[in-house]
Amino acid sequence: MLEIEDLCVEVAGKSVLDGVTLHLPPGELHVLLGPNGSGKSSLLASILGLPPYRITRGAIRLDGVPLTDLPLHERARLGIGMAFQRPPGLDGVSVSAFAEALGAGETLAREAAALDLTDFVRRDMNVGFSGGEIKRWEILKLFLQDPRLMLFDEPESGVDLEHVIAIGQAIRRMVRSPDRQDRPRAGLVITHTGLILRHVAADCAHIVRDGRLIHSGDPQTLFTHIQTHGYSVPDAA
Question: Does some domain include residue 122?
Answer: no
Strands 186-190 and 14-24: unpaired
- pLDDT band of residue 72 (cuts 50, 70, 90) is very high
For residue 81, tell me if it sits in a domain: yes
Q: What's the CATH code of the domain at 59?
A: 3.40.50.300
Residue 107 lies in a domain: no
- Is 99 part of any domain? no
What does the pLDDT read at residue 236?
A: 53
Per-residue DSSP letters for 151-214?
A: EEESTTTT--HHHHHHHHHHHHHHHHS--TTS---EEEEE-SS-TTHHHH--SEEEEEETTEEE
pLDDT > 90 fraction of the chain, expressed in percent and rounded: 84
- Residue 179's nearest CA partner among 109, 84, 78 is 78
Is 210 a domain residue? Answer: yes
Residue 237 to residues 193, 217, 222, 225, Cα–Cα distance (Å):
21, 15, 12, 9
| Domains: count for the chain | 1
Nearest one of 142, 88, 92 to 112, comparing CA atoms:
142
Task: Judge contact between 47 and 151, C-beta under 8 A.
Answer: yes
First to last CA, the chain: 32
Whether 213 is in a domain gets the answer yes
- The predicted structure's pLDDT at residue 74: 96
Residue 162 lies in a domain: yes
pLDDT tens across 106-161, in order? 999 999 999 999 999 999 999 999 988 999 999 999 999 999 999 999 998 888 88
Give the domain range for residue 19: 2-88+131-236
